[in-house]
Amino acid sequence: MTAPAPAVFDQVWRGLAKELRSHGLDVKFVEGWKSRGVGDFYPRAMTEHHTGSNRDSGNAPCLGLVTWGTADVGGPLCNILLARDGTIYFVAAGKANHAGIGGPFRGIPENSANTYAIGVEIENDGRGEPYPKRQIEANDILNAVLLERMKRTAYFAFGHKEWTDRKIDPTFDMAAFRKRVRALMKVLGLPQFRVTAKKVVAGKEKSIKVAKRLRKNGWAVTRTKK
């Protein structure tokens, strides 16, 4: 196992769980994640994958697989696993074997996405299983926060299927995904992700205007009764 350089750990991982939780997300840790990796790691992008797990196989059935790998490819197979209920698992702070042959793409040299991109595995069968709203929201926020930490734009979040024509993952639309992430990055740093526009506080006309503006920027807004 190879831990990331201290500078990488500080920029990417230190305080990340606390920041994600401040946006309403659930974060868990796989034992040993801080020192888990397979070589030099200089992350400056995000790569999205789906696990291909059976939709009836549970919430995070691939957690062990992405941590320890297979007979053909050693683990870790990603840095982060996103469960079906939106729970975020930190699997490896260091370089993971997730992207393989591909590129060059988004400024990352050929066959080097493992070194330069954080790999996110999303639990989904890849055969038409709908992505739950909670899972989509969690992934959008996760990418927005990490890209902000790496001082990159949403342009640098891409799918495995964009890195190489060998793959089809993830099955969601990448342009729409990046549009949502881009909108979220405009509102990062606020104390929480979910906001309630309250009639009793703002007044009907003002609250409606505020709600429209927040929704336009990608926020989830609800209204409460007095």
Helix axes 174-185, 133-149, angle to 10 degrees: 60
Q: Per-residue pLDDT tens for 152-211?
A: 999 999 999 999 999 999 999 999 999 999 999 988 864 433 444 443 444 566 667 777
CA-CA distance, 184 to 215, in Å (whole number)? Answer: 10
Whether 1 is covered by a domain: the verdict is: no
Query: 190 in a domain, yes or no?
Result: no
Domain count, the chain: 2
Task: Verify that 180 and 209 share a domain, yes or no.
Answer: no
What are the residues facing 186 on neighbouring strands? none
pLDDT tens-digit readout, 84-112: 999 999 999 999 999 999 999 999 999 99
Do 200 and 179 share a structural domain? no
Q: Are 208 and 200 in contact (CB under 8 A)?
A: no
Q: According to the model, what pLDDT value does residue 223 have? A: 65
- Only one residue has tokens 């370089």, namely 95
pLDDT surpassing 60 at residue 226: no
Q: Which domain holds residue 102?
A: 6-185
Are 211 and 118 found together in one domain?
A: no
Q: What is the CATH number of the domain that holds 129?
A: 3.40.80.10
Tell me, yes or no, whether 133 and 199 share the same domain: no
- What share of residues in the chain are helix, strand, coil (percent, to 5)? 35, 15, 50
> Are residues 211 and 117 both part of a single domain?
no
The answer to whether residues 117 and 55 belong to one domain is: yes
Q: How far apart are CA 43 and CA 115, in angstroms?
A: 7
| C-alpha dihedral sign at 220, 196, 146, 21 | negative
Token pair of 200 as six digits? 């009793």
Averaged over 134-138, what is the pLDDT?
A: 97
| 8-66 pLDDT tens trace | 999 999 999 999 999 999 999 999 999 999 999 999 999 999 999 999 999 999 999 99
pLDDT at 195: 43
